[in-house]
Amino acid sequence: MPPGAVDDASGVAVSLELARIFAHYKPKSTIVFTAFAGEEQGLLGAQNLAQTYKNASVNLAAMINLDMVGNSKAEDGTTDPHNIRLFCQGTPLTENATTMTSRLSIGGDNDSPARNLGRFIYEVASNVWTEMTVRVIYRLDRYSRGGDHRPFLEAGYTGVRFVQPNEDYTQQHQNVTVRNGKQYGDLTQWLDFEYNTRAAKVVATTMWSLANAPASPTNVGINTTMSDNFSQFKWDAPKGLPVEGYEILYRETIEPHWTNVIDVGNVTWYNLTSATIHKDNVIFGVRSVGKGGYKSPAVLPFPFGCARNC
């Protein structure tokens, strides 16, 4: 059996260390640190917890999976020590046919809850302190791989997976052996502890930012009753932590991340009257802003009042 130093003692070590550190502080929301059993046997531990939460109607904002975050070196020896990948599923796995049709009609397939969580993580955790850039990947996972975030997605929750930037397949799922003078196996000698530390900073920043922010607004919509140059939004205030205001975000449809922000105050509707920011040409999102400037992940507005093609 492979020793599992990188896969996934590196992720468990980050969880244990952050649990130790966070125990001295009081985030506004509950943070649960979990090491799952039975991942290689079919995501068994994650399936159990995801279903347990679903059965109990637990309000889970996000599941952050840390699976292989201990080394940046590729099989050819190249390194990428200041990047970490974040895999984010597109269309939600539990979305009903009507909502999915609407999402695809308005070009919202890149604005699922998981991908907007990815944008949130990119925004809060790619910085000088972490010394890392979060590389958001628009996929559920790597080819032919599975991770513990998937059962949470299948249960209707939002889940994403952190993975180191490069692969060395001689160190993954290999028995410890030497062949033709080359060492095989997932050994501690392959761990890059400085990289693992930077990965921990990314995760710490992500979790602290999420845990202290209000929840995302709900029932976010954009009025498409009339063909005009205005964009009228409405949403409901979320439950939980108090909201001090909201922001409308937008970007060109080909842009991966939000590029523009409009502070609209503490309201639950807003009429954008700029003809140059046309709803046909950009992707919008709405997010909550709480005490201390903590912000929620954005939510894609779905059309209301339209008769067709939405």
Of 79, 16, 22, the residue nearest 212 (C-alpha): 22
pLDDT tens track, the chain, 310 positions = 568 899 999 999 999 999 999 999 999 999 999 999 988 899 999 999 999 999 999 999 999 999 999 999 999 999 999 999 999 999 999 999 999 999 999 999 999 999 999 999 999 999 999 999 999 999 999 999 999 999 999 999 999 999 999 998 888 888 899 999 899 888 999 999 999 999 999 999 999 999 999 999 999 999 988 778 889 999 999 999 999 999 999 999 999 999 999 999 999 999 999 888 999 999 999 999 999 999 999 999 999 877 566 6
Q: How far apart are CA 157 and CA 61, in angstroms?
A: 7
Spans of all domains in the chain: 5-211, 218-304
Q: How far apart are CA 66 and CA 10, in angstroms?
A: 8
Q: How far apart are CA 229 and CA 223, in angstroms?
A: 11
**pTM for the full predicted model:** 0.95
| CA 2 to centroid of chain Cα atoms | 29
For 218-304, the fitting CATH number among 2.60.120.10, 2.60.40.10, 1.10.3090.10, 1.20.1260.10 is: 2.60.40.10
Say if 5-211 and 218-304 have the same CATH topology: no
CA distances (Å), 61 to each of 152, 207, 210, 216, 269, in order? Answer: 11, 11, 8, 9, 23
Q: What is the DSSP letter of 237?
A: P
Q: How far apart are CA 14 and CA 191, in angstroms?
A: 13
Instruction: Find out whether 158 and 151 touch, Cβ atoms under 8 Å.
Output: no
Tell me: domain 5-211, CATH 3.40.190.10, correct? no
